Amino acid sequence: MSQRRMKITDAGPFFILFLTFCSFSSKISIAAQNTITSSTSLSGNDTLVSPSSTFELGFFVRGNSTYLGIWYKKISIHTVVWVANRDTPLANSTGILKIDGGNLILSDGTTVVWSSNVSKTAVGQPVAKLLDSGNFVLSEGGDSNSDSFLWQSFDYPSDTLLPGMKLGWNLTAGLNRFLTSWKNDNNPSSGDYTFKMDANGSAELILSFQLQPQYRSGPWNGLRFSGVPEMTPNEIFGFDVVSTPDEVYYTYDLLNSSLLSRLVLNNTGQLQRYTWAEQDSGGGLWSLFWWAPKDQCDDYSECGPYGVCDVNRSPVCDCVKGFTPKSPDDWYLRVTSGGCIRKAKLECGGDGFLKLPGMKLPDSSRAVANISMSLEDCRIECLNNCSCVAFASADIRGGGNGCIRWASDLIDLREYPDGGQDLYMRLPASQLVIEGGNNGRKRVTVIVTVTLASLLLLLGLGFALYCIRKKREKTKHLKSLRTGSKERSQDFPLTDFDSLSAGNEISEESRKEDFDLPMFDLETIAIATDNFSDINKLGRGGFGPVYKGKLIDGQEIAVKRLSKNSGQGLDEFKNEVILIAKLQHRNLVRLLGCCIQGEERLLIYEYMQNRSLDSIIFDEIKKFKLDWQNRFNIIMGIARGLLYLHQDSRFRIIHRDLKASNILLDSQMHPKISDFGMARIFGAEQMEANTRRVVGTFGYMSPEYAMDGVISVKSDVFSFGVIVLEIVTGKKNRGYYEKDQQLNLLGHAWKLWKEERITELMDASIETSCPMSEVLRCMHVGLLCVQERAEDRPMMSSAVLMLSSENARMPEPRQPGFCTGRSIFETDSSSSKKESCTINQVTVTMLESR
Ligand SMILES: *[C@@H]1O[C@H](CO)[C@@H](O)[C@H](O)[C@H]1NC(C)=O
Ligand SMILES: *[C@@H]1O[C@H](CO)[C@@H](O)[C@H](O)[C@H]1NC(C)=O
Ligand SMILES: *[C@@H]1O[C@H](CO)[C@@H](O)[C@H](O)[C@H]1NC(C)=O
Ligand SMILES: *[C@@H]1O[C@H](CO)[C@@H](O)[C@H](O)[C@H]1NC(C)=O
Ligand SMILES: *[C@@H]1O[C@H](CO)[C@@H](O)[C@H](O)[C@H]1NC(C)=O
Ligand SMILES: *[C@@H]1O[C@H](CO)[C@@H](O)[C@H](O)[C@H]1NC(C)=O
Ligand SMILES: *[C@@H]1O[C@H](CO)[C@@H](O)[C@H](O)[C@H]1NC(C)=O
Ligand SMILES: *[C@@H]1O[C@H](CO)[C@@H](O)[C@H](O)[C@H]1NC(C)=O
Ligand SMILES: *[C@@H]1O[C@H](CO)[C@@H](O)[C@H](O)[C@H]1NC(C)=O
Ligand SMILES: *[C@@H]1O[C@H](CO)[C@@H](O)[C@H](O)[C@H]1NC(C)=O
């Protein structure tokens, strides 16, 4: 029918030039036409060109073979986007494409090598056309209505997804459109990599090598794929995933139709999105717009079932909260594919959900999705089905809608600093209390609040009963007390809190103590402290003065007297009593008893001869009492005490106000952590409403805690790091400046570390007594602990390991938090310097500023 032949001379000199330079163009077209009908054919150097000359279809040669394919016509680089006979190449260039019996047929003159193979027989004249989209279609009479296509190349993609193409399923026809890589640059036959839509669960795209998944896009969440956080709405592309009972597919469009772009699965298994960039010089090039997989965490199931990958962490794998490595030995060697197992079995009835924010949703090929459910219904549905292990919203737009539920192991989880989404993990209630953080769901909050409330109530009742009894027996008491005997028979019944007991961590001998907390009479304490005389005052703790005392039997004690008018006094008091009574560790100060009488609330501790660390380490003369061995022992002691608080006691306890003045030293200079007035059982307090108050001490507070009130064990790690550096250098963090620079100790240490002069910072008073490697190790660990990002800081367990082992692997520290002497709260610059230099170690309490 209508044929338009173009001679090479018509194209002018430029075309010849282009051909000369274009090394990719292995086939030269001398004829171009618009359609193929039953009376015309395409062979040799003939080509079919799309109406506005965007694409061209014809024969091209790779290796020794000839293929029928489609490439861009306009651009200077021969880029093939579709190949018809990729697995049945023509041995010579005598291929003929024609329409026969309603089908497109490609033959070498004798045998058919490729056919469109449609069963539908055309009623009228079938016509084949190449459209401007790059779609090669066969339709009746050249009808360009897509519903009437008998066949289209877009249904059989090669390695390239063009704008408007569908990647996915026509479920009614059982047709799956997917990308298959070329074997290599010179061989378009089907390679080992495929990129397919899996529509069994929640639709997601999977890149596989020989059918083994290598990379997942994550399910579509309304805005983007869960595993492609960089897929944000932009001015170039519009992305969409369509999911109906008939079809499930991914597609994209160019918002500016004059641009050229393609998504290609390259033969080494890389997904690459290119855009064509014209250059002023005339040519142009494909510029790489996006690619995947990008990093270690994109590798499918890098951390195994229930493992979470985070590239900003080293090692990248961690277990989901409430889980522990299945094989710790393998895990230690970074063989993480075994994944993690639950620390405690699910209880079905008593379970709750832990919110994991910023996640790439796990493999959802076996998940159940329902777009019309609300997130709350989703939670209920998941909670009521004991095999459901997690849920998430299927569409994050407008606050979250729809429901995806998982009933199989969660595989291929990763965490993003931003752009991820919330995943709710089922955990037994016991794990939620320990691990919960601010992530628990309402139900868990309720459980914990109720538990906590009843504990406090019991405590209150205990106090009340005790006070009544005490009053009755007061006279008798006074008598016995004056003779100096402690009334052990009247021990405060802490047995009610046995449920809190740290159980297995407590040795048998201390177990007895654990059950009874002696109550002291006010009179006894008044006598011991000479009526709380100023001479006996040791200092001020967080919530009141501390006195030295001596019982009639000669035992020395330290008495903390809680301020009567401090609003939070009672809570802190109860908190401290419960906590400390249950905590038994040689690096935690021991509570000998307490006293409650009227308004008066006292805590009686063992007395520490050498008082607090800060009174020695920062004293120009006394510091000589601490040689390196002492200092190292102190560092290790604090580390072990903190490790116990964080991990080994049954409840995860965050101290929140760790500082040199809260480290007490006994006669042998053994360190003991004191002042738990502000400690929190992690997971309990925080679940109520985040942190109500930010309490702590400038110079020791981690940035995320000081600024956002985020509590975690990592804020204690930060404080620990500061103390370590203070011990090694004998200098206070706050108030220390290098000449002109506004650097505090952390900033200064960081500067010297980078310049590899960190040893200059060592305290001169220990220079003679120390092995340099140990000092360096401590400084290294100190710097790791004060890193700005909480995620970078080690857990106390690794800190202890690094401190105690000569050849532990230590990552390079990054920038510490709060490097300058000024803290964010000191705004007036003239006064700030002064204030920072006059060391103000008083604990501050601020209302949360959000
Ligand atoms: C196709 O073009 C090449 C290069 O110009 C030429 O050598 C060859 O003869 C042409 N083939 C046909 C069938 O026209
Ligand atoms: C092409 O054919 C020649 C001669 O038959 C052979 O030597 C060469 O290896 C072939 N090249 C490829 C890529 O198959
Ligand atoms: C092309 O190859 C086919 C078989 O593959 C052969 O029958 C035919 O003769 C060849 N034609 C030419 C011109 O070499
Ligand atoms: C053509 O399609 C039929 C089913 O429609 C299928 O059985 C056959 O294998 C196909 N043939 C080729 C060459 O693809
Ligand atoms: C799916 O395929 C069937 C059979 O080829 C066809 O009738 C239907 O229109 C297709 N559905 C869509 C949405 O393209
Ligand atoms: C469902 O999963 C099976 C096995 O992985 C796969 O072969 C099939 O293509 C999937 N179906 C859809 C619609 O994704
Ligand atoms: C589309 O892109 C072309 C080429 O980059 C540009 O000249 C044109 O202004 C763009 N059109 C719109 C509507 O952005
Ligand atoms: C595939 O992509 C990767 C990453 O961009 C690149 O290193 C490799 O050379 C590409 N392979 C080919 C054949 O283009
Ligand atoms: C999805 O949820 C809605 C509302 O709960 C329910 O009516 C519907 O049956 C569910 N659909 C499927 C496929 O389960
Ligand atoms: C619980 O969930 C599993 C997996 O999704 C499903 O097979 C089972 O039917 C569900 N049971 C109930 C009672 O809904």
Kindly report, residue by residue over 59-111, the tens digit of the pLDDT: 999 988 999 999 999 898 999 999 999 999 998 778 999 998 888 999 988 89
Say how many Å lie between the CA of residue 116 and the centre of ligand 4.
9
Mean pLDDT of 584-591: 84
State both tokens at 270.
């890389």
| Other Cβ atoms closer than 10 A to 810 | 16
In a domain, 6, yes or no: no
Mean pLDDT of 253-262: 91
Would you say residue 693 has pLDDT above 90? no
CATH number of the domain where residue 76 is located: 2.90.10.10
Would you say residue 178 has pLDDT above 80? yes
**682 and 737 assigned to the same domain:** yes
Look at ligand 5, atom 6, and give the residue with the nearest C-alpha: 173
Backbone torsion region of residue 42, taken as left when φ is above 0, otherwise alpha when ψ lies between -120 and 50, otherwise beta: beta
DSSP state of 692: S
In a domain, 13, yes or no: no
Whether residue 363 has its Cβ less than 6 Å from ligand 6: no
| Other Cβ atoms closer than 10 A to 838 | 9
Mean pLDDT of 571-578: 66
CATH number of the domain where residue 265 is located: 2.90.10
In a domain, 842, yes or no: yes
Whether residue 235 has its Cβ less than 6 Å from ligand 7: no
Q: Which of 256-265, 434-443, 527-536, 586-595: highest mean pLDDT?
A: 256-265
pLDDT given for residue 9 in this prediction: 34
**435 and 313 assigned to the same domain:** yes
Whether residue 489 has its Cβ less than 6 Å from ligand 4: no
Say how many Å lie between the CA of residue 425 and the centre of ligand 3.
64
**251 and 305 assigned to the same domain:** no
Would you say residue 533 has pLDDT above 50? yes
Look at ligand 2, atom 1, and give the residue with the nearest C-alpha: 64
In a domain, 111, yes or no: yes
**Domain span at 219:** 157-294
Say how many Å lie between the CA of residue 439 and the centre of ligand 9.
27
pLDDT given for residue 33 in this prediction: 72
Look at ligand 10, atom 12, and give the residue with the nearest C-alpha: 385
In a domain, 481, yes or no: no
In a domain, 686, yes or no: yes
**618 and 599 assigned to the same domain:** no
Whether residue 155 has its Cβ less than 6 Å from ligand 5: no
Of 154, 188, 203, the domain-final residue: 154
CATH number of the domain where residue 554 is located: 3.30.200.20
**564 and 678 assigned to the same domain:** no
pLDDT given for residue 650 in this prediction: 59
Of 104, 139, 154, the domain-final residue: 154
pLDDT band per the 50, 70, 90 thresholds, residue 350: confident
pLDDT band per the 50, 70, 90 thresholds, residue 465: low
Helix (H, G, I), strand (E, B) or coil at 660: helix
pLDDT band per the 50, 70, 90 thresholds, residue 543: low
Mean pLDDT of 29-42: 76
Residues 610-658: tens digit of each pLDDT: 888 988 888 888 888 888 888 999 999 999 998 888 876 656 778 888 8
State both tokens at 380.
């209920």
Look at ligand 6, atom 6, and give the residue with the nearest C-alpha: 198
In angstroms, the CA 596 to CA 525 distance is 11
pLDDT given for residue 784 in this prediction: 94
Of 630 and 518, the structure prediction assigns the larger pLDDT to 630
Whether residue 268 has its Cβ less than 6 Å from ligand 8: yes
Q: Give strand pairing partners of 129.
A: 35, 137
pLDDT band per the 50, 70, 90 thresholds, residue 298: very high
Ligand nearest to the CA of 244: 5
Of 124, 154, 184, the domain-final residue: 154
Q: Looking at 159, 395, 514, 657, which residue is catalytic?
A: 657
Whether residue 372 has its Cβ less than 6 Å from ligand 9: yes
- N-term to C-term CA, the chain: 75
In this structure, the residues whose C-beta lies within 6 A of any atom of ligand 2 are 63-64
Whether residue 16 has its Cβ less than 6 Å from ligand 1: no
∠ Cα 62 251 181 (to 5°): 25
Contact between residue 444 and residue 436 where contact means Cβ atoms under 8 Å apart? yes
Cis peptide, bond prior to residue 305, ω within 30 of zero: no
Contact between residue 113 and residue 104 where contact means Cβ atoms under 8 Å apart? no
State both tokens at 614.
């800060």
Residue whose C-alpha is closest to residue 661's, from 613, 622, 619, 719: 613
**843 and 724 assigned to the same domain:** yes
Atom of ligand 9 nearest to the CA of 371: 1
- Pocket of ligand 3, candidates 65, 66, 85, 94: which has the most ligand atoms within 8 Å of its Cβ, to mutate? 94
In angstroms, the CA 562 to CA 564 distance is 6
Angle (deg, nearest 10), helices 796-804 and 713-729: 30
| pTM assigned to the model | 0.57
Whether residue 388 has its Cβ less than 6 Å from ligand 10: yes
Ligand nearest to the CA of 43: 1
CATH number of the domain where residue 716 is located: 1.10.510.10
In angstroms, the CA 103 to CA 120 distance is 9
Contact between residue 115 and residue 105 where contact means Cβ atoms under 8 Å apart? yes
Contacts of 713 (CB under 8 A, 6+ apart): 646, 652, 654, 682, 795, 796
Count of structural domains within the chain? 5
Say how many Å lie between the CA of residue 370 and the centre of ligand 9.
6
**107 and 202 assigned to the same domain:** no
Torsion of CA 849, 791, 364, 440, to 10 degrees: -40
Q: Which of 458-467, 619-628, 747-756 is the least confident region? A: 458-467
**129 and 175 assigned to the same domain:** no
pLDDT band per the 50, 70, 90 thresholds, residue 31: low
What's the Cα-to-Cα distance from 670 to each of 588, 619, 635, 640, 720, rounded to whole Å?
A: 10, 18, 10, 12, 16
In a domain, 447, yes or no: yes
**699 and 801 assigned to the same domain:** yes
Of 680 and 674, the structure prediction assigns the larger pLDDT to 674
Percentage of residues in the chain having pLDDT higher than 90: 36
Would you say residue 771 has pLDDT above 90? no
**176 and 49 assigned to the same domain:** no
Say how many Å lie between the CA of residue 72 and the centre of ligand 1.
20
Whether residue 176 has its Cβ less than 6 Å from ligand 5: no
Residues 201-245: tens digit of each pLDDT: 889 999 999 999 999 999 999 889 999 988 887 888 999 999 999
pLDDT given for residue 218 in this prediction: 94
State both tokens at 723.
């103390």
In angstroms, the CA 340 to CA 352 distance is 19
Mean pLDDT of 749-764: 87
Mean pLDDT of 276-282: 83
Whether residue 370 has its Cβ less than 6 Å from ligand 9: yes
* Strand (E) or helix (H) holding 573: helix 569-582
Active site residue 763: no
**103 and 134 assigned to the same domain:** yes
Contact between residue 82 and residue 160 where contact means Cβ atoms under 8 Å apart? yes
In a domain, 57, yes or no: yes
Mean pLDDT over each residue of the chain, to the nearest integer: 78
Helix (H, G, I), strand (E, B) or coil at 694: strand
**257 and 222 assigned to the same domain:** yes
Name the H helices within 185-274.
none
- Pocket of ligand 7, candidates 258, 260, 280, 287: which has the most ligand atoms within 8 Å of its Cβ, to mutate? 258
